[in-house]
Structure 1
Amino acid sequence: MQEKAMVIGGSIAGLLAARVLSDHFKDIILIEKDSSMDDGKARIETPQANHIHILLVRGREILQGFFPELEKELLKKGANKIDFLNDSRYRLPSGWAPKFNSGIITFACTRTLLENTIRHQIQKIPKINIEQGEQITSFVLEKSNKISLKTKEGKEIHGDLIVDCTGRNTKTPTWLEDIGFPKPRETKIDSFVRYSTRRYIPSKKDRRWKMLAILNKPITNPRIGAIYPIEDGKWLVGLYSIGKNYPPTDEEGFLEFAQHLESRELYDALKDATPDSEIYGYQVQGSRKYHYEEMKQWPENFIVLGDAVSIFNPYYGQGMTSAALGAKTLDDMLKDNKVKKGFTRKFQKRLAKEISLPWILGTSEDLRWSTTVGKRPNTITRMVQNHAQKVLLLSPKSKLAAKSFQQMMHMIKSPAIIFHPAILLQLIANSIWKKDE
């Protein structure tokens, strides 16, 4: 077992990294500049915490593997167990998705509850020490191509492995450049997404769904709406739009926006519900990826994962699951290797492969909109994306198509699942039927 590992940032990515490192290092220090992590509130570094955060099934599976008691604890605190097709009323661009037991199951709650519950699990591990109120301000280059951390007070902190989990506000590109490393190549895709969210107390009216989602209609209607169940029997209601058609944060505008979704069902549900918070707005920075996997010069004791590597459009719910994928990748590599020369570069290369699927799934969909800024996908990616859109449009008529599409989006099956021969036959039959209409 190796000696000392450092994690910068107490986000979900940072907590997962600390959990992984506890199996491979004698001493783990998690550094978080927020000094109020134990008060049950969202961290200062997560202004998006008031909004809907979906944990995809693949993410749930990884979290459950690291924390066997997590699901039980979340359900005890009021989280909801959801089958994404059976418990949802899901409006797709071509109609309502079929309701059936799909086995695509995760839990729904606020991000704050999920993060705090994971943190409480972490605090039970004796070898993990959380240092709150500590701010890192730069890197220091050491011998043998390693780095150490410098705090605001000028103290240097050393570690056999240092992990940046500081999220979208990461300073790694700048700090590496300051000590002589090149800056990584950066890819940006901006679909100009903004969202507005409000908590509601639902009426006691009997409904046939736990979650309601109304998707946009490509080209004609960029508006999206969702009702997401959280603890205490409340709802988080999120309104989203692509292409600068921003949802308002005032009462009248919020409800007016909801009226013009592809279905009025969300608006009708709000008429019977009681507001339980202000309306929170959030401007998404766009999707961003640092290509650390390409860098030929790289510190031998330093890695980056989570949002510090890639920021995803939050609408697709990929952020927390991608952080979990990064933690699992680190765990898998540490089981087979010690941190020695070449380990950290290999990790960044392998991580890039692991998170390439959510990146392609999310950005390809964003790039369908002419208002999106960023490099268009290559021909093969565009063909796969067009086929995925056909499968999505087929879903209201086909349980197989609906389930396969969701399995792909939840990262429990590869995109090959939507090329199943039965789905291809259904697409052909649907095309013939349309021609005969």
Structure 2
Amino acid sequence: MSHETPTRAVVLGGSLAGLFAARVLADAYDEVLVIDRDVLIGVDVPRRGCPQGRHINGLLTGGQRAIEELYPGITEEMLADGVPKGDLGGTVRWYMQGRQLEQQHADMLCIGPSRPKLELHVRERTQALSNVTFVERTDILGLETTADRSRVTGVRVQHLDSGEAEVVDGDVVVDATGRGSRTPVWLAELGYPQVPEERKKIGLGYVTQYYRLNSDPYHGDLSINVVAHPKLPRGCIFAKTDGGRIEMTTYGILGDHPPTDQAGLYAWIDSLGIPEYSDALRDAVPLTEPVAFRFPTTLRRRYEDMPRFPDGLLVTGDAVSCFNPVYAGGMTMAAKAALVMRSHLHTGAAPQPLEYFKDLARDVLDPHWEMTNVVDLSFPGVEGKRTLSVRMAQAFLKRVQIAATRDGKVTAAYMRAAGQVERPETLQRPGMLLRILVQSLRGPKSRPPHIVTRPVRPAAGQAAEQSAEPAA
């Protein structure tokens, strides 16, 4: 009979990042506790602790594949629950630099769950693990450490309903509390160096509204996406989602934000110059009021550059990095971070935090951070160093987008990089590089506007006759 003490992992935050972390920790520890201020179990609506839950949370193909690896079969479960699907290159209609890209299937499955729907499925699969327990309605007060502060041994919490405070011991503590993470403050209080940070002011603001449409602007597509560019720093994602609804998130940067009054919002959509948007919304039925969200700065905490770090503590998700959300990388980053974490959870050995952070930076964060930084800095008002390499990358990206208006193979390759399935440098392979150069020299291709179709309604006399027919 074994007398070994059971091992415990403690996850701070029941966000998607926290759930993904709990999933991999459950394979390495006897017990996993997920602590959060919110009620989590059974919730299928936006949570107070997830303010972006009312907005589109795009799941890139790389993220979908990572989530499927963590929870085999979950994609089919969501599709069976009414979540629509498509191909990132073939059934997403992209407008970049004001021109539509040529569509081509890229073997890039993408699915369109709302954030609450995705959280519900992931939470239920995590909850089904016998050694995972959710500790709800509980505030996180701080870390517990050894006397020499070299190792984190648990966390101090307070239960909101009873007011009772206690120390929860853990062999490893994972911070998944999001952008507002207090780990940098806690580390400073413990005598550790300041966590290096990078911030870039982008002044992003967006507004979301849900609809039911009385027309069809999609014609088989999953989403119609307009990407902001320097000449028009406004964009929009107009996508099918679960429940037969349409989810629209429209945005602007550098303080140019969409309004939340209905008339003003429709006028803003008209300014994008996409006829299928304006025509589809002409007789759409709003299901919600317009809701705003502000995202002033991107943020990256470079834990990999810390000279020392306490054992027994890891950080994941938005608590490490918050990219510009219009690039839809947050959930993908969190899922991929869990896979990196899993590779550091060796049986019988505690993870080495700095090794984990270095692998996370190199394999997950760096490529997407560099790619999105190039795009952010293409807007003249965004502050930052426009080095020679950044300017060269911007010029190349513009050629890629021009070429993609003519060549579906370029679109497919571009989407494999943007969807975090392949690294951005794959676009510079000789054959693809030649294709991009040749096609971009021809200039962008123009297309006639898409037609929005509406169901044929019977004439008044026919409608009366039909209504008089007996029910079957």
Aligned mates of 2:18, 2:386 — CA distance in 1: 31
Partner SS state of residue 345, structure 2: helix
Larger mean CA deviation between 56-65 and 410-419 belongs to: 410-419
Q: 2:280 aligns with which of 257, 264, 269?
A: 269
Whole-Å separation in 2 of the counterparts to 1:141 and 1:336: 23
Write out aligned runs for 1:284-363 (5 A): 284-335=295-346, 338-339=349-350, 343-353=352-362, 354-363=364-373
Give the stretch that moved more between structures: 13-22 or 144-153.
144-153
Q: Does structure 1 retain, via aligned residues, the 8 Å contact 2:410–2:436? A: no
CA contact 1:196–1:247 (8 Å) conserved in 2: yes
Q: Evaluate the alpha carbon distance shift between residue 52 and residue 431 of structure 1 in structure 2; reply closer, same or farther with a 3 A threshold.
A: closer
Count of residues in correspondence between the two structures: 430
Between the aligned partners of 1:417 and 1:411, the Cα distance in structure 2 is 11
Q: Which residue of 2 aligns with 1:100?
A: 104
Maintained 8 Å contact 2:60/2:420? yes
CA distance change for structure 1 residues 69 and 303 in 2, over 3 Å: closer, same or farther?
A: same
User: Which shows bigger deviation, 187-196 or 345-354?
Assistant: 345-354
Equivalent residue in structure 1 for 2:413, among 386, 390, 404: 404
Question: SS state of the match for residue 392, structure 1?
Answer: helix
SS at match of 1:193: strand
Verify the 8 A CA contact 1:4 1:160 in the aligned structure 2: yes
* 1:135 aligns with one of 136, 139, 144: 139
Moved more, 362-371 or 149-158: 149-158
Aligned-pair distance for 1:114? 0.1
Q: Name the structure 2 match of 1:240.
A: 251
Q: Separation in 2 of the partners of 1:99 and 1:359?
A: 26
* Unaligned runs of at least 5 residues, structure 1: none
Instruction: Give deviations 1:97-131, integer Å, cap 9, x for gaps.
Output: 22232211111010110011100001110100111
Tell whether the 8 Å contact from 1:258 to 1:267 is kept in structure 2 after alignment.
yes
Contact 1:214–1:262 under 8 Å retained in 2 = no
> 1:367 corresponds to which residue?
377
Cα distance in 1, alignment partners of residues 378 and 216 from structure 2: 38
What is the deviation of 1:253? 0.8
- Where does structure 1 differ by over 6 angstroms across 4 or more consecutive aligned residues? none
Matched, 1:393 2:395: no
Distance 1:69-1:423 versus aligned 2 partners, 3 A rule: closer
> What's the CA shift string for 1:176-200, capped at 9, x where partnerless?
2122222201110121110001000
Preserved contact between residue 217 and residue 276 of structure 2 (Cα < 8 Å) = no
User: Is it true that 1:87 corresponds to 2:87 in the alignment?
Assistant: no
Distance 2:428 2:389 in 1: 14
**Alpha carbons 1:139, 1:179 under 8 Å: kept:** no
In the TM superposition, what is the alpha-carbon distance from 1:316 to its structure 2 partner?
0.2
| Paired position in structure 1 for 2:422 | 413
Q: Residues 20 and 331 of structure 1 are in contact (CA less than 8 Å); yes or no, is this contact kept in structure 2?
A: yes
CA distance in 2, matches of 1:431, 1:62: 33
Alignment of 1:148-163 (within 5 A): 148-152=154-158, 153-163=164-174
Do 2:28 and 2:347's aligned partners in 1 also have CA atoms closer than 8 Å? no
1:35 aligns with 2:39: yes
Residue 462 of structure 2 is matched in structure 1 by none
CA RMSD of aligned residues (A): 1.9
Aligned to 2:59: 55
C-alpha change, 1:103 and 1:139, in structure 2 (3 Å) is same
After superposition, the Cα gap between the structure-2 partners of 1:186 and 1:206, relative to the gap in structure 1 and judged at 3 Å, is closer
Give 2:127's aligned residue: 123
Q: Where does structure 2 lack aligned partners over 5 or more consecutive residues?
A: 159-163, 444-472
What SS does structure 1 have at the residue aligned with 2:231?
coil
What secondary structure, in the 3-state scheme, does the structure 2 residue paired with 1:166 have? Answer: coil
Aligned partner of residue 402 in structure 1, secondary structure: helix
Contact in 2 for aligned 1:37/1:43 (Cα 8 Å): no
Q: TM-score w.r.t. structure 2 length? A: 0.87
Q: Which amino acid aligns with 2:126?
A: I
Normalised by the length of structure 1, the TM-score is 0.94
Q: Which moved more, 1:85-94 or 1:53-62?
A: 85-94
The Cα of 1:432 is off from its aligned counterpart by 5.2
Q: Mean alpha-carbon deviation: is it higher for 92-101 or for 118-127?
A: 92-101
**Identity value in percent:** 26
Q: Is the 8 A contact 1:221 1:262 kept in 2?
A: no
Between Structure 1 and Structure 2, whose CA radius of gyration is higher? 2
Query: Is 1:20 aligned to residue 31 of structure 2?
Result: no
Secondary structure of the residue aligned to 1:368 is coil
Return the letter of the residue paired with 1:398.
Answer: D
Q: Which residue of 2 aligns with 1:212?
A: 224
- Greater mean deviation of Cα atoms: 1-10 or 297-306: 1-10
- Look up the SS of the partner of 1:397 in the other structure: coil
Show CA shifts across 1:145-188 (max 9, x none).
11221113441122111100001111111122122222201110
Residue matched to 2:433: 424
- Contact kept in structure 2, 1:190 and 1:286, CA below 8 Å: yes
